[in-house]
């Protein structure tokens, strides 16, 4: 048997890569073992998402929120700041983007869940969770309420359980 230097998993003689962690276990020089890349380096990657998103959308000139589960573009107003939430009859302040069409209630979306801000001067887009009941997250990491969090091309923004992919226009990538 041979032992994986990274995760101590035991493999049969003749195996080239550890079945548990994927590290090379045979014919390695010492420096080859440490090829693990720091996760944030990958999170920050700018890559071609043509596999995830219809090609047409990638050549867009505007900012897009895309529901991967529904495979459709979510309608957003053409303004530099707008709120997303769930419209309820008799509500005083209504959200600019109403997600009732996306089973908002079941998804745990609050009436006023989040604000999206587009900063045309700095060329950035950010999200602010408005103290929603079920919270928001970016790429699976929960974000604190009432503070501005930047959004990058390809990020997954989740409001409650509802996921949207952030697609930036070409000039903002």
Give the interface with another protein as residue ranges (CB under 8 A): 1, 11-17, 19-24, 26-27, 35-37, 39, 41-43, 45, 47-55, 68-69, 71, 137, 139-142, 154, 156, 158, 161, 163
C-alpha distances (whole Å) from 163 to each of 21, 64, 114 are 29, 13, 13
Q: How far is the CB of 65 from another protein (least distance, A)?
A: 16
Closer CB to another protein, 88 or 145, in the complex: 145
C-alpha distances (whole Å) from 74 to each of 29, 64, 68, 99, 165 are 50, 7, 10, 9, 10
DSSP-derived pairing of the beta strands 81-85 and 97-98: parallel
Closer CB to another protein, 122 or 141, in the complex: 141
Quickly count: other Cβ atoms within 10 Å of residue 26's Cβ. Answer: 12
Q: How far is the CB of 15 from another protein (least distance, A)?
A: 5
Are 82 and 96 within 8 A, CB to CB?
Answer: yes
Q: How far is the CB of 23 from another protein (least distance, A)?
A: 8
109 half-sphere exposure, CB direction, 13 A CA radius: 29
Q: How far is the CB of 4 from another protein (least distance, A)?
A: 11
Q: What three-state secondary structure class fits 39?
A: helix
Q: How far is the CB of 35 from another protein (least distance, A)?
A: 4
Q: How far apart are CA 17 and CA 29, in angstroms?
A: 14
Closer CB to another protein, 96 or 149, in the complex: 149
- Backbone angle region of 5, left / alpha / beta, with phi > 0 → left and psi within -120 to 50 → alpha: alpha
Closer CB to another protein, 1 or 93, in the complex: 1
Closer CB to another protein, 26 or 88, in the complex: 26
């Amino acid at each position: 048997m041979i032992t994986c230097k990274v995760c101590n998993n035991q493999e049969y003689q003749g195996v080239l890569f550890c079945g548990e962690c994927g590290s090379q276990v045979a014919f390695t020089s010492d420096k080859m073992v440490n090829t693990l890349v720091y996760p944030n380096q990958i999170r920050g990657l700018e890559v071609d998402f043509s596999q995830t998103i219809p090609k047409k959308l990638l050549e867009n000139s505007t900012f897009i929120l895309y529901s991967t589960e529904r495979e459709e573009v979510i309608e957003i107003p053409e303004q530099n700041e707008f709120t997303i939430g769930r419209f309820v009859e008799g509500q005083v302040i209504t959200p600019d983007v109403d997600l009732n069409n996306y089973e908002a209630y079941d998804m745990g979306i609050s009436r006023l869940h989040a604000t999206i801000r587009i900063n045309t001067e700095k060329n950035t887009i950010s999200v602010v969770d408005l103290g929603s009941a079920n919270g928001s997250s970016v790429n699976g990491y929960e974000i604190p309420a009432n503070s501005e969090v930047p959004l990058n091309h390809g990020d997954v923004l989740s409001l409650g359980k509802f996921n949207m992919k952030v697609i930036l226009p070409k000039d903002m990538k």
